[in-house]
């Protein structure tokens, strides 16, 4: 947006062109990490903590409106907020050796549904999920004391983060096999949940709240 500086008349005499900055750049969507936080902390071994996915979609919330009309003031419809619904999340990744976390999570549902499968009777199958959108390029960090220094290689700055609550896996899909193909084995997972929070970094200073150990 051009900023005009008025001259002697109504016509601006100069225009100031603002420079783009890192802070005004839109957040990139291709650098992100996903962390699973099982409710049962004794079952963390089957979740590999931080996981990489090719695609994450479905971060959306909708509040259904309730139409309401009343006598004496019925020239227009009133709308009240009703129930909120959250879309299932879709996770996609290339399958790797030993990457059995999602399959193990699915097996845990069978102990809850029909008494067999992975886990013991009454074991908790829900988890919270943290989705961290990482800054690009990764900025310099600031230590807790405020001294500017270079961020350690494993310290990554988060532009924004999502915390998904009470999630559990509802479907697990594997890609097709083809002897004549030249592709990758892909795994897709669908997760239902009960809501999420989203937080944003105020700037590129790397205080404790803006850093994550990757």
| Domains and their CATH numbers in the chain | 28-68+88-213 (2.30.110)
pLDDT at 30 > cutoff 60: yes
Residue 49 — pLDDT band, cuts 50, 70, 90? low
Tell me which of 68-72, 159-163, 171-175 is least confident. 68-72
Burial of 46 (0-12, 13-18, 19+ CB in 10 A): middle
CA distances from 89 to 82, 93, 101, 132, 194 (A): 22, 13, 17, 15, 11
Specify which residues 160 forms β-bridges with. 133, 200
Q: What is the pLDDT of residue 214?
A: 44
Tell me the C-alpha distance between 19 and 189, whole Å.
43
What is the average per-residue pLDDT within 79-94? 94
Contact of 171 with 181, CB cutoff 8 Å: no
Would you state the structure tokens that stand for residue 167, as one six-digit string? 């999630």
Pairing of strands 55-57, 50-51: unpaired
Specify which residues 157 forms β-bridges with. 211
Tell me which of 81-85, 134-138, 139-143, 186-190 is least confident. 139-143
| Residue 40 or 207, more confident | 40
Average predicted confidence (pLDDT) for the chain:
78
Residue 107 — pLDDT band, cuts 50, 70, 90? confident
Placement of tokens 């886990």 in the chain: 119
């Amino acid at each position: 947006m051009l900023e005009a500086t008025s001259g002697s008349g109504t016509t601006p005499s100069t225009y100031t062109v603002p420079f783009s900055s890192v802070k005004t750049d839109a957040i990139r969507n291709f650098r992100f990490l996903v962390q699973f936080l099982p409710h049962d902390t004794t079952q963390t071994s089957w979740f590999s903590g931080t996981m990489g996915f090719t695609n994450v979609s479905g971060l959306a919330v909708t509040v259904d409106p309730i139409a309401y009309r009343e006598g004496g003031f019925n020239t227009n419809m009133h709308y009240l907020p009703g129930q909120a619904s959250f879309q299932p999340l879709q996770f996609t990744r290339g399958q790797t050796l030993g990457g059995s976390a999602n399959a193990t999570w699915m097996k845990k549902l069978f102990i809850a549904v029909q008494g067999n499968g992975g886990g013991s009777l009454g074991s908790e199958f829900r988890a919270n999920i943290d989705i961290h959108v990482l800054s690009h390029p990764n900025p310099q960090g600031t230590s807790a004391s405020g001294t500017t220094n270079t961020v350690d290689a494993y310290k990554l700055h988060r532009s924004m983060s999502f915390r998904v609550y009470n999630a559990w896996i509802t479907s697990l899909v594997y890609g097709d096999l083809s002897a004549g193909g030249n592709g990758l084995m892909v795994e897709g997972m669908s997760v239902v949940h009960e809501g999420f929070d989203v937080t944003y970094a105020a700037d590129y200073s790397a205080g404790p709240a803006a850093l994550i150990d990757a």
